């Protein structure tokens, strides 16, 4: 799929305009988004992504549209892990809900820049060193297995290596009364809990990108498909956060679904690349990947609902 520079420019202009409208018009005031408005915004971004997929279908054909949708849903699924980090960080730093959207805006902006750089670097590497696909695949299988058995993150981040490193870098004031990244006290400049929370979110997303970018590159190595699907998934992350934080019981078992998705994608990368080298007719298609992603996420939500209802009955 060859994409002219005009399409790239048009897409990024659209994203910049949407970000400006988001911060400067729709969420100009510091207000706590309701679950209803968050669900509507999430639906808006999801709908926009599928409209974009329709445009790809019309211009480049059904296979590229399928690649976009698969990459988008894969990234959307894996980004749910970011949401739990948001909840953990905001609770730990006691960030008022009315300031969270603005903080996430800058977090998402930084994530977009980092992921675009990661994607272009990944595409270049895979074009030169095809065997890296097997390395990435084995890494994802390992990461998926590790995720299944690792302990849940506790609510106390004081011993977290990222937080400890940031506190060494900046003089830190954790009870700043205003939503600013820096404050002056007795003429001395201090970083606030808002800056530390933002930098922690950015650092966490960088770690998540190490998993998600290779996974998405298993779907397509077309830069336009991978970049646009990633950006659409990340752009809707803030609204999804405010929606999910209000319906957490539905995601009790999401960790296991994400672990299984990573392991499956890793297995797919290894199998498909090995088959290519050995000239075997083995291939896991993107349609199969799409079915597995939707199936595992749906299964985890159904299991979570059943478990939540069982716990409610026990309390009665």
pLDDT digits (tens, 9 = 90+) for 79-118: 777 777 777 787 777 787 777 777 777 787 788 888 888 8
* Spatial CA neighbour of 269 closest among 282, 259, 251: 282
What is each CA distance from 65 to 52, 60, 70, 119, 226, in whole angstroms? 9, 8, 9, 19, 11
Cα separation, 231 vs 250, in Å, equals 25
Mean pLDDT, range 57-80, rounded to an integer: 88
Is the pLDDT reported for residue 154 higher than 60? Answer: no
Cα 26 versus chain centre, distance: 22
DSSP, res 152: P
Task: Enumerate the β-bridge partners of residue 184.
Answer: 189
DSSP, res 155: S
Cα separation, 130 vs 258, in Å, equals 26
Give the strand pairing for 172-173 and 182-185.
unpaired
The residues spanned by each domain of the chain are: 5-247
Tokens for 57? Answer: 């279908």
pTM: 0.78
Mean pLDDT, range 187-196, rounded to an integer: 80
Specify whether the CB–CB gap between 240 and 83 falls below 8 A.
yes
pLDDT digits (tens, 9 = 90+) for 270-316: 888 888 777 777 778 878 888 888 888 889 888 888 887 887 777 76
């Amino acid at each position: 799929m060859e994409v002219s520079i005009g399409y790239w420019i048009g897409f990024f202009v659209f994203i910049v305009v949407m970000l400006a409208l988001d911060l400067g018009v729709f969420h100009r005031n510091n207000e706590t988004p309701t679950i209803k408005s968050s669900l509507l915004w999430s639906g808006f971004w999801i709908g926009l992504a599928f409209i974009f997929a329709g445009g790809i279908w019309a211009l480049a054909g059904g296979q590229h549209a399928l690649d976009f949708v698969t990459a988008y849903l894969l990234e959307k699924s894996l980004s749910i892990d970011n949401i739990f980090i948001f909840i953990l960080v905001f609770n730990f730093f006691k960030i008022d809900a009315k300031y969270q959207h603005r903080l996430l805006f800058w977090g998402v902006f930084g994530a977009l820049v980092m992921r675009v750089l990661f994607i272009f670097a990944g595409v270049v590497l895979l074009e030169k060193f095809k065997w890296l696909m097997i390395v990435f695949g084995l890494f994802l299988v390992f990461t998926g297995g590790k995720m299944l058995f690792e302990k849940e993150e506790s609510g106390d981040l004081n011993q977290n290596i990222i937080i400890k490193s940031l506190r060494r870098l900046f003089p830190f004031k954790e009870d700043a009364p205003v939503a600013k990244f820096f404050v002056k006290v007795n003429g001395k400049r201090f970083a606030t809990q808002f800056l530390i929370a933002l930098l922690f979110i950015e650092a966490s997303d960088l770690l998540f990108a190490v998993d998600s970018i290779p996974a998405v590159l298993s779907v397509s190595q077309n830069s336009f498909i991978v970049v646009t699907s990633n950006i659409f998934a990340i752009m809707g992350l803030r609204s999804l956060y405010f929606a999910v934080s209000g319906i957490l019981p539905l995601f009790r078992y999401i960790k296991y679904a994400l672990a299984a998705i990573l392991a499956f994608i890793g297995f797919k990368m290894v199998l498909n690349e090995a088959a290519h080298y050995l000239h075997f007719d083995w291939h896991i298609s993107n349609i199969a990947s799409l079915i597995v992603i939707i199936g595992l996420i749906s299964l985890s939500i159904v299991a979570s609902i059943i478990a939540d209802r069982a716990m409610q009955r026990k309390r009665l």
